Structure 1
Amino acid sequence: MTEITPAQEAESAAERRDGGSPWRPSRRTWAAFLLLDVAVWLLVLPTAALLRFDFNAYAVEWGPLAAVGVITVVLQLVLGYLTHVYRGRHGYGTFDEVRALALLVLMVSALVTVVLLAVGVMWEVPRSLMLIAGPLALVLMLGVRYIQRIRQERRHGPGEHAEPTIVYGAGVLGDQLLRRMQLDDDSRFRPVALLDDDRQLRNRVVRGVPVLGALSDLDDVVTRTGATQLVVAISAADHHLVKKVADAAAQAGVHVRVLPKLSKELAGHAGLADLRDLSIEDLIGRETVDTSVEDAAEYLAGKKVLVTGAGGSIGSELCRQIQRFAPAELIMLDRDETLLQEAQLETEGHGLLHTRDVVLADIRDDDALTAVFEERRPDVVYHAAALKHLPMLEQYPDEAWKTNVLGTLNVLRAAQRVDVQTFINVSTDKAANPTSALGHSKRVAEKLTAWMGTQTGRPYISVRFGNVIGSRGSMLPTFHKLIRRGQTVTVTHPDVTRYFMTIPEACHLVIQAGAIGTSGEVLILDMGEPVKILDVAERMIAMSGKDIAIKFTGLRHGEKMHEELIGAGESDARPLHPKISHASVQVLAPENLDRVEWLRRMGFEEDAFGARIDEQPTRGSRSVKDDPDA
């Protein structure tokens, strides 16, 4: 059964009102076409006979020709039914129907020709009759359908409420987008012009909409057409082109909208409702790295997979990605029941929280964690649970110790007890040359993971990446909220930079780590050039159209001006993928952990409860050389 995509559903909205559309005609419509096809054959057969005898009607044997007509009509009806031509399989006027109808006419013509070869001499009917009648019949049948398609299309389309819209891109995607706009009665967009930088497409007309120039002509085209919207319909548009479009649109005074990802478009899951405003993520300057995760995820198929921190931004996306690779069981563990419900909604389609795929537990609770691992016995573990907000952990470093260090150790020991085959620890770029409680705690977690790998002989690996676009509590969502409320946007320093990557990209790297990483390694994705935070803030404010001030607050304690991905003394080997570095990590045995020394050597005078730490150096003494984890 053919799936009706959301795009087709939008296009067929009119069908539910008047019983027909260019794509899914009603049964009544197909019955009408069946009768029309019969009429076509009854018309073209005598016409073909007259052509064969140079319009000498006396030379035509009309009785036998009528018998041939009956045979032809019966074959058309029977074969048309068997091939679903008259059962609504194809929308009329589509290429699918052209192929199906051409094949049907060819089969009918061939079978009738076989009959004529057998009895043609006796019936005195020309054996070449179908060579003339077949093409004539096909042309007429297709012509009738094409006329009906045009008639139906003209009955539908955007109303007076629709905004005049320019589509940038006159290729395949532009063509599809125009079709959707023109067929949807509820469309908010009325196409008035196309733009394309390909000179070969100049003066082209697509579905009645002219190509009026290139992007550089946007100002003039807006003036001529009165357009208020600009839709980007270019699948390969990178951030450089998107920035160029955004700047041109701002100058011309039109609003920019973009299509979803190409994979969604090609799957037929993108309709007009999926058009969205241009976001800062489109302009951030990140070129997505293809990590070929599909080839690397064979180790997940048929295995029991456990994800800690499954309700978080990374954890929940990991669960969605993992489910694609048919694990025997997916176990989502988190201490937040509400986040677990959201994760279950996204992976299972319900949030009932009564099934074994969700586990409520805290990684700080060693006994509870051990019980879960002993009962469920996972084969693969993704450890994404962590505290991640740098300023908060600078205030409460002891919490970083309890969760990021001891919590990780609890997960590692539980995994060791049940002989987990693959263990991937999710780390952060702040673990490279750490200067904060967050960075130091994650650095220790990396070293503990490497140590456990030496104990188990299994691949125990860490994955390190920078800021994840759209993750909960990260910079971009915070900026969005401040701008939406009209509040001052705070930036720590005008020159501060950060690395960015998308959530799916981060999860692809985490999944691939289990296939290409070796025990004791940290895998690091090449994230391109770092992005200046001030530039991001200024562009987001410009896109909002609001007059919002930017306030510089100064770097917070423990923050770096520029983040690093690879620490001092770490290698940048890329043996398997040109964009993935493999760095070796020193091991750290649990017996060498010392909470007080860890806090003291980082320069904290008090722990999270205000208890003083003896022989404490000043906070400003912290440096890479004093890294307690080195």
Structure 2
Amino acid sequence: MALTKRIFSDTVRAETARRGETLLQRFGSQFALDAVAWLVAVFAAALLAYDFQVQRMPLLALLFVSAIAMLAQLIIGGAFSLYRGQFTYGSFDEVRALLLAVCAVAVVVGVPVIVWGNNVHLARSTMFLALPFAFVLMGSARYIKRLYVEAKSRPGDGAAPTLIFGAGYLGRSLVQRMLTDRYSPYLPVGMIDDDPRASHRQVRGVRVLGRLRDLPAVADTTGARVIVVAIARVDAALLRQVQDIAEESGLQVKVLPTLEEVLMGHAGLSDVRDISIEDLIGRQPVDTDVAAIASYLTGKRVLVTGAGGSIGSELCRQIVRFGPSELIMLDRDETNLQSVQLAVDGHGLLDTKDVVLADIRDREALVDIFRRRRPEVVFHAAALKHLPMLEQYPEEAWKTNVLGTRNVLHAAGEVGVSTFVNISTDKAANPTSVLGHSKRVAEKLTAGAADASSARYLSVRFGNVIGSRGSMLPTFAALIEAGGPVTVTHPEVTRYFMTIPEACQLVVQAGGIGEPGEVLILDMGEPVAILDIARRMIAHSGKDIEIRFTGLRPGEKLHEDLVGLGETDQRPRHPKISHTRIVPLAPEHLDHEDWLQRLRTNGAHTAVIGVVPERRSSR
């Protein structure tokens, strides 16, 4: 509230300066109306006190008391910021301040009248009878002024007739903002809401005109050209439904920025934007108090492998907010390191100790780095992740995803790392690909390290990340830009999706709520049909582009799993985060030749884990 008042006050001062006025010039008329209100109120109170017998009223005394009340109103009203442009005209804040000011004036002037009023034949009740008159007159003047200002601020004739989907607090606030912004490109003409309790709501004459199913009829009746979804954290499935119905009605769909964007200053609540494909396939984020959970990072030395990648760089941005004593960003790509340093430190000089150029395949280099830097918390994000590429080159998956993970775990064990979070994938659940098998082994190695050290070594498993390099959305966008065709493997293929910030949020949470040897899995809602995404992206582009089906690639599933066969789905800490355990694997039990032989013999899509029979270590 204080921030809102300050912003409004600053806006008023800036507008006043733009006009070449002083605050006294601009709000002098407001005080003049308040002064007249006291004059009228005092004489109206006297009429009541003297039973409308004007000849009995002490006119000079009444004029003197009115003048004193006016002076007190100026001083006390100024103290309550009534004449400084701090309040929105006619707002509840201004009415509350006005009531306090009027009561204070009535007391300050009324007490002397009670004591000495009879000496000048003035009724002692005059000021207290005048109080409600003055308050009503001043409040009415402000309300009329507010109506006048808002009428002048109403969007012009060029504003698009707009429907608001959602008649809750957010929707009502949006209607009010649009109606009081003369430069708004949107003029609200009605609201839509599926809640029966909202059927009779209205804001400044803008009423709820029906439910979502009534949208075509409402759009036809009102002439609306745009619909704005004003529902906080709206579910992607509902957005898809709104878009489908809106397209039939010829309506453009707009959405509001997220609360995070508003708080970070990237957008305001009235800054609507076009709906994006990310909105249509995203999910409602998991509510968790990350700041409380992530206290294990504060004051600690934190190392991130693969820091220059999509996940690693966002992870670094989130970690730095929790005040680690040192953030060590490790990657084998110097260009990626420069990008993440720009994002985290605001420069890309590459001459500071926070960036480390190293390959997780180099065991000796890792041990040397860990011994010199002594990290206490490690997030292991470095990996090869492209499924079809690893199907062609399975040995590369072994070197990076398996041996690289083993090397990082070994280096962490050498220096007594207390928390180790291995970033895995949903393809490790019931794996059918080289990628899935290699990441499954990495999970098992992490659990084995937890067994050996009793430290908090765990893995985090999630699905496809929206917008990561090489992921589906940028690929589809490039194909559409090139004129197509857009290639989809199978008409029924589905995938789980989440945003990069949410994926990294889960990783940070895992270090705080996971137990040694666990795998944490985010409930990712319902899987999304890839064909539906392709069609929506093509429709959004306005181009006529062919969709071509190429068939599932070796090792690729039609539908992904999050929890593997035989794994538990316990949720002891949060209803949306599953905790499961897998069989741990000691590094000495890895067998490279056996793993490759199994892949050659059976094919990656039918191979079992390429290690010797697993042995469960004792706890």
- What is the CA deviation profile of residues 296-345 of structure 1, one whole-angstrom value per residue up to 9, with x for unaligned ones? 32323333333222333322333343344444444433344444454455
Is the 1:304–1:378 contact (alpha carbons within 8 Å) kept by the matching residues of 2? Answer: yes
- Per the TM alignment, residue 64 of structure 1 is displaced from its structure 2 partner at its CA by 3.3
The residue aligned with 2:80 is 83
Residue number in structure 2 paired with 1:609: none
Q: How does 1:5-84 map to 2 (within 5 A)?
A: 15=15, 19=19, 28-84=25-81
Q: Is the 8 A contact 1:163 1:190 kept in 2?
A: yes
1:589 alignment counterpart: 586
Mapped contact 1:429–1:464 kept (Cα < 8 A): yes
Q: State the Cα distance separating 1:589 from its structure 2 match.
A: 2.7
Which whole-Å deviations, capped at 9, do the CAs of 1:242-290 have from their partners, x for residues lacking one? 2332221121111111223356669997537732223334443745443
| Residue 381 (str. 1) matches residue 378 (str. 2) | yes
**Structure 2 CA distance for partners of 1:33 and 1:11, relative to 1, 3 Å:** closer
**For 1:512, which of 486, 509, 512 is the aligned residue?**
509
Which residue is equivalent to 2:163? Answer: 166
Partner of residue 397, structure 1: 394
The partner residue of 1:410 within 396, 407, 424 is: 407
Instruction: For residue 505 of structure 1, give the secondary structure of its aligned residue in structure 2.
Output: helix
Q: Which residue of 2 aligns with 1:93?
A: 90
**Match of residue 610 from structure 1:** none
Q: Partners in 1 of 2:572 and 2:185 — Cα distance?
A: 51
Separation (CA, whole Å) in 2 of partners of 1:291 and 1:412: 28
Q: Which residue in 1 is equivalent to 2:607?
A: 623
Asked whether the 8 Å contact 2:34–2:138 carries over to 1, the reply is yes
- TM-score, length of structure 1 as denominator length: 0.86
Secondary structure of the structure 1 residue equivalent to 2:578:
strand
Q: How far apart are residue 106 of structure 1 and its match?
A: 1.6
Q: Are the equivalent residues in 2 in contact too, given 1:513–1:523 (CA < 8 A)?
A: yes
**What does residue 612 of structure 1 align with?**
none
Within 5 A, what are the aligned runs for 1:221-300?
221-235=218-232, 237-261=234-258, 270-271=267-268, 274-284=271-281, 286-300=283-297
SS in 2 for 1:167: strand
| Alpha-carbon distance in structure 1 between the residues aligned to 2:60 and 2:211 | 64
| C-alpha distance in structure 2 between counterparts of 1:145 and 1:348, whole Å | 50
Tell me how far 1:129 sits from its aligned partner: 1.9
AA matched with 1:180: R
- Secondary structure at the aligned position of 2:573 is classed as coil
Does residue 453 (structure 1) correspond to residue 450 (structure 2)? The answer is: yes
The within-5 A match list for 1:146-545 is 146-199=143-196, 201-202=198-199, 205-235=202-232, 237-261=234-258, 270-271=267-268, 274-284=271-281, 286-347=283-344, 357-545=354-542
Which letter does structure 2 place at the counterpart of 1:521?
E
**Relative to 1, partners in 2 of residues 1:164 and 1:76: Cα closer, same or farther, differing over 3 Å?**
same
CA distance in 2, matches of 1:375, 1:55: 94
Structure 2 CA distance for aligned equivalents of residues 138 and 254 of structure 1: 47
Q: Secondary structure of 1:297's partner?
A: helix
TM-score where L is the length of structure 2: 0.88
Asked if 1:125 corresponds to 2:99, the answer is no
Q: Using the alignment, how far apart are the partners of 1:584 and 1:624 within structure 2? A: 19
Instruction: Please say which of residues 60-69 and 136-145 is displaced more in the overlay.
Output: 60-69
- Please tell me whether the aligned partners of residues 589 and 612 of structure 2 are also in contact (alpha carbons under 8 angstroms): no
How far the C-alpha of 1:427 sits from its partner, in A, is 0.5
Q: Check 1:404–1:359 CA distance in 2 against 1; reply closer, same or farther (3 A cut).
A: same
Deviates more, 1:249-258 or 1:188-197: 188-197
CA contact (8 A) 2:427 2:436 kept: yes
Q: Distance in 2 between matches of 1:13 and 1:35?
A: 20
Answer yes or no: is the 8 Å Cα contact 1:433–1:624 preserved in 2.
Answer: no
Structure 1 residue 90, shift from structure 2 partner = 2.0
**Per-residue CA distance 1:521-576 (angstroms, 9 max, x = gap):** 11122323333322333343344443322211111122122222233443333333
8 A Cα contact 2:426 2:560, kept in partner: yes
Shift of 1:461: 0.6
Given residue 550 of structure 1, which amino acid in structure 2 is its aligned partner? I
Q: How far off is 1:459 after superposition? A: 0.6
Q: Show the counterpart of 2:617.
A: none
Residue identity in the other structure for 1:473? G
Q: Which amino acid aligns with 2:608?
A: V
CA separation of 1:76/1:10 partners in 2, compared to 1, >3 Å: closer, same or farther?
closer
Q: Tell me the distance in 1 between the aligned counterparts of 2:563 and 2:269.
A: 43
Distance 1:482-1:361 versus aligned 2 partners, 3 A rule: same
Q: Quick one: distance in 1 between partners of 2:561 and 2:613?
A: 17
| Structure 1 residue 428: Cα displacement | 0.7
The letter for the 1-side match of 2:455 is R
Distance 1:101 1:274 in 2: 32
Instruction: State the identity %.
Output: 57
Q: Choose which of 141, 144, 160 in structure 2 pairs with 1:144.
A: 141
Alpha carbons of structure 1 residues 144 and 503: separation in structure 2 relative to 1, 3 Å: same
Residues in 2 aligned to 1:247 and 1:52: alpha-carbon distance in whole angstroms: 68
Find 2:543's aligned residue among 533, 546, 567: 546
**Following TM superposition, by how much is the alpha carbon of 1:458 offset from its aligned partner in structure 2, in angstroms?**
0.9
CA deviation after TM superposition for structure 1 residue 163, in Å: 2.3
- What does 1:551-570 correspond to in 2, within 5 Å? 551-570=548-567
The whole-number CA distance in structure 2 between the counterparts of 1:368 and 1:627 is 26
Worse-matched range after superposition: 179-188 or 133-142 = 179-188
Aligned equivalents of 2:184, 2:10: Cα separation in 1: 9
CA contact (8 A) 1:6 1:271 kept: no
Alignment root-mean-square deviation, CA: 3.5
1:403 partner letter:
T
Question: Which amino acid counterpart does residue 535 of structure 2 have in structure 1?
Answer: E
- Report the 3-state secondary structure (helix = DSSP H, G, I; strand = E; otherwise coil) of the residue aligned with 1:575: strand
Task: Work out the CA distance in 1 between the residues paired with 2:348 and 2:42.
Answer: 65
For 1:37 and 1:5, how far apart are their aligned partners in 2?
22
* Equivalence for 1:606: none
- Mapped partners of 1:457, 1:369: distance in 2: 22
Whether the 8 Å CA contact 2:594–2:611 is kept in 1: the answer is no
| Compared CA separation, residues 148 and 363, structure 1 to 2 (3 A) | farther
Determine helix, strand or coil for the equivalent of 1:574: strand
Describe the SS at the equivalent of 1:583: strand
Bigger mean CA deviation after superposition, 449-458 or 568-577: 568-577
SS in 2 for 1:165: strand
The alpha-carbon distance between structure 1 residues 34 and 298, as it changes in their structure 2 partners (threshold 3 A), is: same
Quote the Cα distance in structure 2 between the aligned partners of 1:497 and 1:10: 51
Q: Which residue of 2 aligns with 1:608?
A: none
Count of aligned pairs between the two proteins: 614
Distance 1:137 1:5, change over 3 A: closer
Per-residue deviation, residues 229-252 of structure 1 (Å, max 9, x unmatched):
111223364344323322211211
Q: 2:99 and 2:50 mapped to 1: Cα distance? A: 26
